[in-house]
Amino acid sequence: MNQTRDFRPPPGFMDLDSPDAATKPDPSDGPSLPAEVMLERLSRESDAWTTLARFLGQLVPLGYDSATVEEVAGVERRRQHLWLTALQVYTSLAKDMKKSDLEEFEVPGGDEILAELKFLTHEQRLPAVRYIQARQMDAQSARVLARAIKEWVRREGDKQGFSNAPADCLAFKYYRDSIETRDPVESAALAKSGLDLAVTPSARQALGGLLEPKKEPTPEEAAAAKLPRLSTLHLMPTDLGTRLLPIAGAFESTAPATLRACPRAQGRGDFFSTVALPAGSSAHDWVALPLWPALAQAGTPAGLRVANCSVLQAGMGSAKAGPGLLVVDVGPASAAGDGWRLVESAAQPGGLSVLRPGEDAAGASHVAAILFLCRPPAIATGAAAKTSELLSL
């Protein structure tokens, strides 16, 4: 029996600037040659790499993928990928550059240079490739330049007067390397290399400042530098240990009103080390859980004992048997989300039901948002040693 499958184009099929676009035949290349001819030329590499890369795209609809081309023509898949990546950059540059200006990249080695510019935008590639041409850079130097440009873009805040010109981006790299090294000789050499490349006065001034002799510290500054330093840590909320939450009762028998009335433990002080329990809190059992982000952001967290986690399989997606604790948030803001929730349904008044994300809540009143289901560690057997194994979201 013959079976057919619907063809689905790959992602970026209609994007002319995507890497996949380089694998599609270009109508301007003229009619495709027979597959045997293209494979023979690929095996001998008798044409420029730009032509060979287009052969790869023209062979795809004929049933020759990269593995087949490697087997038949002997061109490694890694080299095929290099050609296609370089062709994508070449095609992008050809939109704003004359073919004669790009001919020097059609020779062996040009593909490696252009491939290094794959992560740059079209606006970044144009000045970068002209800078590469002017300085006769090889593939390794082009890689350093491309990374320097991306680093300049990623660097937030003050860029110390370095412009987005390729030379300044490269000089900025040397500037950063110079101030980050502890070797004074290496620092001066890096600053000198950057100074030779910088083109804007502000960039040259920043690099020149690194080469100026440092003034001798005053006796007070020298004495302060020798004083021992006390390590200071800026704590995050999740570093503060645990959070107390009341146990409202068993999931199967707790009334919605009981869960809504759960008290909230309030931490006081800069480190929340003093916990204030409201009046009537002695009527509840309390449990301390690690201050995970979901628990730290909860308004009024509470717990419900679950005798057997497998009974929640339909609602929570957990089939593991054994006791557990269903952690919920009964705060006012918990009704805003569309996640897992506990509701009081009209069909089961006075009881709790699990509502999945996206389910119709018609006829049901919100009680609490479900944060997670946690199970105790299996200390006796040594299993479930990781936090991720204790949670079932």
pLDDT at 337 over 80: no
| CA-closest candidate to residue 103, choices 25, 49, 31 | 49
Query: Do the domain assignments include residue 200?
Result: no
Q: Read out DSSP for 261-291?
A: T----EEESTT--EEEPPTTGGGSEEEEEE-
Which pLDDT belongs to residue 132?
92
275 pLDDT tier (thresholds 50, 70, 90): low
Parent domain of 82 = 19-115
Domain assignment present for 346: yes
Query: Under a CB-based contact definition with an 8 Å cutoff, are residues 93 and 129 in contact?
Result: yes
pLDDT at 259 over 70: yes
- Per-residue pLDDT of 97-106, as tens digits, reads 888 888 888 8
Please give the Cα distance from 172 to 207 (Å, whole number). Answer: 9
> Residues 73-78: what's their mean pLDDT?
89
Q: Over pLDDT 70: what percentage of the chain?
A: 79
Q: Which of 86, 128, 75, 92 is nearest to 110 (CA)?
A: 86
At 104 the pLDDT is 86
Average per-residue pLDDT in the chain? Answer: 79
- For the cut 60, the answer to whether the pLDDT of residue 279 exceeds it is yes
Higher pLDDT, 10 or 211: 211
The pLDDT value recorded for residue 130 is: 92
User: Is 139 inside any structural domain?
Assistant: no
354 found inside a domain:
yes
Sign of the torsion angle spanned by Cα atoms 158, 159, 160, 165: negative
Q: Where is pLDDT greater, at 213 or 206?
A: 206
Which of 63, 91, 115 marks a domain boundary? 115
Q: 30: number of CA atoms within 13 Å, CB side?
A: 3
Query: 292 in helix, strand or coil?
Result: coil
In a domain, 359, yes or no: yes
Name the burial class of residue 18, with classes exposed (0-12), middle (13-18) and buried (19+) by CB atoms within 10 angstroms of its CB.
Answer: middle
CA 234 to chain centre: 25
Residue 46 has pLDDT above 60, yes or no: yes
Domain count along the chain? 2
Residues 140-181 pLDDT 10s = 999 999 999 988 888 877 778 899 899 999 999 999 899 888
